[in-house]
Amino acid sequence: MKPFKDTIFALATQRGKSGIAVFRVSGKDSHKLIKSISSKKKFKTNFSSLNNIIDRKSIVDQTLTTFFKSPKSYTGEDMVEISCHGSISVINKITKTLLKKKIRLADPGEFTKRALMNDKLSVLEAETINDLVNAETENQRKIAIGNLSGNLDKFINEISNKQKKLLADIEAIIDFADEDLPKEIYKSIKEQNKNIYKQIENIIKRSSLSREIHSGFIITIIGKPNTGKSSFINYINNKEVSIVTNIPGTTTDLVSSTLDIQGDKYTFVDTAGIRKYKNLIEKIGIQRSLESAERSDLNIVFLKNNEKKNYSKIKSKIFVKSKYDTNKKKINGAQSISSVSGYGIKNLIKTISSNLKKKPISGPVFSRERHLESLNKSLVLLKSIDLKEIDLAAENVRRSIMYIDGINQKFDIEKILDIIFNDFCIGK
């Protein structure tokens, strides 16, 4: 473990009024520090106890304090967690009390960085923790918690070991060219290579799908003025997101709202719609509607009558006619809804999600650009391997190993020599 010089602290919970708030302290002075500001003078390791935080002999707050002894803590260092009452004044006072002790405020992610440096977490696990903290929907959470169990590292190590075996076999051809090598070795090398790059291809495919889960789907609402676009947005959000009036042209700018529908993230964008404009505000609003429609995954077009042909240039769309409660006349190819009675809205949501929903993803996925770039580079190298140019083939495998190992940052080319002699029976 590499010891860090200073001791850091941070509020681990959101700043604001809440039942409790939690402070974290990490570093070699944690134990000394907590004793110097506590009513308790002895802290049993990894045990929570009732403890008054004291500043200049007066009680700041009654807390639950836990001391974690290195290396059995999140960061691997000595750590303290203080669960205090969650008021702004308590949070401020404890912050001041801690700052007087010459420990410093932690940088963003510094606890996890220390955990990483102290080998409590792998690079991939540290990245996943961030995904878990930022997960907004059920599917994002599922992916992050699945990845936290170390299965990304397992995947990388498995691919890396297969690549090293492949390299060992290729190097055997180079090093022992004059000796009797089994004829099947060329076939075996090709098969091994194909097996590796297929695995990489699959995980890249799965990971791209997971990125959609991360960023979610964008759905833009367009249509003539007064067709009930904003009322629909307010109905599904169950609150006044957009202004609704009977004046045509009420909505002028884009109004976004995000919903979790069956575990997926959907961002609905209410717009001014697409129509003739009378002034500059309307012109800009309509321009923005078109831009939003262009970048969205699905567009919902609210119809007044049967003006479907006006929207022939709009990609992936479904048509809707609202106000069913007052006008039951249906339009062919459009779903009827009402934002007053709720008629047809469940069905419309079903249509939207079945249009967009991808198969649920199982198994490890890589969510970061850094990972996907390395996987892609490694894939290109492996696919280019030609055993007629054996030296170049070996070099390509070596470089592809570098990219794969770079994902969880361990690179040990020496191991390959061991594999040649342990795993391959030369001279037999």
Minimum CB distance to ligand GTP smaller for 86 or for 285: 285
DSSP per-residue letters across 330-392: --TTEEE--TTT-TTHHHHHHHHHHHHPPPPP-S----SHHHHHHHHHHHHHHHT--TTSHHH
Site for ligand GTP in 339-368 (CB under 6 A): 339-340
Please choose, from the candidates 160, 278, 185, 274, the residue with its C-alpha nearest in 3D space to the C-alpha of residue 223: 274
> In angstroms, what CA-CA distances link 321 with 269, 300, 306, 330?
18, 10, 9, 8
Torsional class of 244: left (φ above 0), alpha (ψ -120 to 50), beta (otherwise): beta
44-52, 338-346, 354-362, 405-413 -> range binding ligand GTP (CB under 6 A): 338-346
Figure out which of the listed residues 38, 140, 230, 289 binds Mg ion, where binding follows CB under 5 A: 230
In this structure, the strands spanning 104-105 and 8-11 are parallel
Figure out which of the listed residues 3, 16, 71, 248 binds ligand GTP, where binding follows CB under 6 A: 248
Figure out which of the listed residues 140, 147, 251, 396 binds ligand GTP, where binding follows CB under 6 A: 251
Phi, psi dihedrals of residue 379, rounded to the nearest 5°: -60, -45
Figure out which of the listed residues 51, 75, 193, 227 binds ligand GTP, where binding follows CB under 6 A: 227
Please choose, from the candidates 346, 335, 155, 334, the residue with its C-alpha nearest in 3D space to the C-alpha of residue 236: 346
Q: Is 225 in the site for ligand GTP (CB under 6 A)?
A: yes
Q: How many residues bind ligand GTP (CB under 6 A)?
A: 23
Figure out which of the listed residues 11, 143, 159, 244 binds ligand GTP, where binding follows CB under 6 A: 244
51-59, 132-140, 202-210, 221-229 -> range binding Mg ion (CB under 5 A): 221-229
Q: How far is the CB of 220 from ligand GTP (least distance, A)?
A: 13
Q: How far is the CB of 366 from ligand GTP (least distance, A)?
A: 40
Contacts of residue 319, defined as CB under 8 A and 6 or more positions apart, other chains included, come to 301, 303, 308, 331, 333, 334, 335
Q: Is 230 in the site for ligand GTP (CB under 6 A)?
A: yes
Minimum CB distance to ligand GTP smaller for 343 or for 424: 343
Considering just the CA atoms, what is the radius of gyration of the chain in Å? 30
Q: Is 249 in the site for ligand GTP (CB under 6 A)?
A: yes
What is the CB neighbour count within 10 angstroms for residue 94? 23
Minimum CB distance to ligand GTP smaller for 228 or for 364: 228
Q: Is 292 in the site for ligand GTP (CB under 6 A)?
A: no
Answer for the pair 395, 384: CB distance below 8 angstroms, yes or no: no
Q: How far is the CB of 26 from ligand GTP (least distance, A)?
A: 52
Figure out which of the listed residues 76, 86, 216, 273 binds ligand GTP, where binding follows CB under 6 A: 273
Site for Mg ion in 239-258 (CB under 5 A): 250-251
Q: Is 321 in the site for ligand GTP (CB under 6 A)?
A: no
Which of ligand GTP, Mg ion, none interacts with 111 (beta carbon under 5 to 8 A by kind)? none
Q: How far is the CB of 233 from Mg ion (least distance, A)?
A: 8
Answer for the pair 277, 283: CB distance below 8 angstroms, yes or no: yes
In whole angstroms, give the CA distance from residue 409 to residue 428: 37
Contacts of residue 50, defined as CB under 8 A and 6 or more positions apart, other chains included, come to 62, 63, 64
Torsional class of 226: left (φ above 0), alpha (ψ -120 to 50), beta (otherwise): left
Minimum CB distance to Mg ion smaller for 103 or for 219: 219
Q: Is 325 in the site for ligand GTP (CB under 6 A)?
A: yes
Q: How far is the CB of 253 from ligand GTP (least distance, A)?
A: 10
Which of ligand GTP, Mg ion, none interacts with 225 (beta carbon under 5 to 8 A by kind)? ligand GTP
Q: Tell me which DSSP letter residue 411 carries.
A: -
Minimum CB distance to ligand GTP smaller for 70 or for 251: 251
Locate tokens 């060329």: which residue?
186
34-42, 54-62, 238-246, 355-363 -> range binding ligand GTP (CB under 6 A): 238-246
Contacts of residue 422, defined as CB under 8 A and 6 or more positions apart, other chains included, come to none
Q: How far is the CB of 227 from ligand GTP (least distance, A)?
A: 4
Q: Give the angle subtended at the CA of 399 by the CAs of 398 and 403, to the nearest 5°.
A: 120
Figure out which of the listed residues 33, 323, 375, 379 binds ligand GTP, where binding follows CB under 6 A: 323
Helices (H), 263-304: 280-295
Q: Is 289 in the site for Mg ion (CB under 5 A)?
A: no
Q: Write out the residues near ligand GTP by the rule CB under 6 A.
A: 225-231, 244-246, 248-251, 273, 302, 322-323, 325-326, 338-340
